[in-house]
Amino acid sequence: MTATALVHYIGATEKSRSVVASVAADRRDAGEEVCVVDISDTTVISQDFPPAWLVRLLGHRITPQGLLGVLESLGVTYLRPTFPFSPPEIRPAHREALTQALESELLTYFRLDSIPSTREARVLSRRLRGAMEKTYAALDELWSHNPPARVLIPNGRTSRQKAARLVAEHHGIRVGFYENGRATPDHYYLGTTQPHDRLASQAEVNSVVASLEPGRTVTLADSWISHRMSGDEGTNQFSSGWVQPEEAPTPGDPGHKAVFFTSSFDEYRAFGPMWSIDNWSHQFEAFDAMMTILEERGVGLVLRLHPNLGSKSRAYFQREVTDALDLQSRHPTLVLHWHNSSVNSYDLVRQADFVIVERSTIGLEAILMGKPVWVTQASQWDQVADVRQVLSPADITGEVMQPWNVSRVGAQNFAAYWMVQEHPLRWGWSTWSTWDPGKAPLRMKIALLAAKNPWSHKVRLVRIVWTAWRNSKFRPPGQSAESQ
């Protein structure tokens, strides 16, 4: 019987309890001996429920220990490892990768494209590093004496996840990854590649889809894009606020159109060399050069700001707004659709003759819709889909900016690759609480401030909500909400 260890902590993925319980159940059904290794004792920022007493006071219930009951009923072993008191010695070969993972985690936390030089950042960095090193040492001790045949790690990007991966690989243990579903609602991903490893994932696309029956790849790709377009019930969280396609306005005149989509890219800056292959100082530098060529041909220009811009820090947000307005001043015919516009991005793609993205997923969707796509930075699908990469000023020429008859095959294979690696969740949110944390009522969101976290984090939560509200109310100079 294969011994499989599942590394786990609350917040490691979205829907953590549902995901880890479902992975464990499926592994048991596959005949594996499963042990859940819970490293929650090193958690620095809790993403768990509010205190039970406060939940009851607010008219709800939680069953945080319900996971243990589920695991016990499945015959799964549950283990909390012993963590060292003193800092361990990190193997020299692992130091750079761990530092990179820590930086990525900090970028995500601060919602910036660089780590701020503040006391808060220094304190958080020190605490996260301590948790990472303790996790590294505890798992090293555990697996040096009792190694499983396989270790399954949530995502693998952040510091403790990276520590688990490096330790497992050092001991010659086979590593897999699991994550909340990215292609299908209420599913989880299980595979051999870390979800953000763009090279490894694309390298295995053909081998994964090779066994599919004829026509199955197309069916899966159609299903994937259908889920993306399904609003509240789908996998694109931003589309729920967009108008229905038949109601979406048509920008500009009826001539040829080029639609540019910005990306939400902050955490990608710390993903390593595979994600840093371009020579642009900013995505708008590339857009500006391409707009100049297209404008001379009489092509209408449209720019859509990524909806996730509204969740960024105020400084980041204001910089992007300034850059977008500067771009419009250089191209006066440019139609801007801001992050909080209700215009449907899929309608913009349908109306486009040229689709230009930094690395946004809508580029993949546009290819599936038969549109030519240019990408200005590394993307998750740029090696398998029929795209044009423009990674430096020298790449942008009149010839490169000519549309072509797009092949959908590579994009269909990639979407199918995502789909076939997902499995249904066996437990939903109602197993653990009487409200859906993904759509929590206001009082339950406020209750999260009572969770055991540093005061700096609680202040940050309030600031995030306040900033997101301010960003959502943005109106460009001289423009009403209706004209966005």
Q: What is the pLDDT of residues 402-414, one digit of tens each?
A: 999 999 999 999 9
pLDDT in tens, 140-165: 999 999 999 999 999 998 999 999 99
- Report, as an integer, the average pLDDT of 175-193: 95
- Report, as an integer, the average pLDDT of 90-113: 90
The SS3 call for residue 31 is coil
Task: Tell me the fold of 216-419.
Answer: Rossmann fold (3.40.50)
Q: Is it the case that residue 269 has pLDDT exceeding 90?
A: no
Query: Which of 149-153, 170-174, 473-477 has the weakest average pLDDT?
Result: 473-477
* Residue % of the chain over a pLDDT of 90: 79
* Per-residue pLDDT band at 276 (split at 50, 70, 90): confident
pLDDT of residue 252: 46
pLDDT in tens, 321-346: 999 999 999 999 999 999 999 999 99
297 closest CA partner among 370, 403, 387: 403
Pairing of strands 3-8, 150-154: parallel
Computed on alpha carbons and rounded to an integer, the radius of gyration of the chain in Å comes to: 23
The SS3 call for residue 62 is strand
Residues of the chain with CATH 3.40.50.2000: 216-419
Please, are residues 358 and 277 in contact by the beta-carbon 8 Å criterion?
no
Supply the mean pLDDT for the chain.
91
Higher pLDDT, 263 or 92: 92
Domain 3-180+440-472 belongs in CATH node 1.20.120: no
pLDDT in tens, 358-412: 988 999 999 999 999 999 999 999 999 999 999 999 999 999 999 999 999 999 9
Q: Is it the case that residue 244 has pLDDT exceeding 70?
A: no
Partners of 374 in the β-ladder: 356, 388
* Per-residue pLDDT band at 272 (split at 50, 70, 90): low
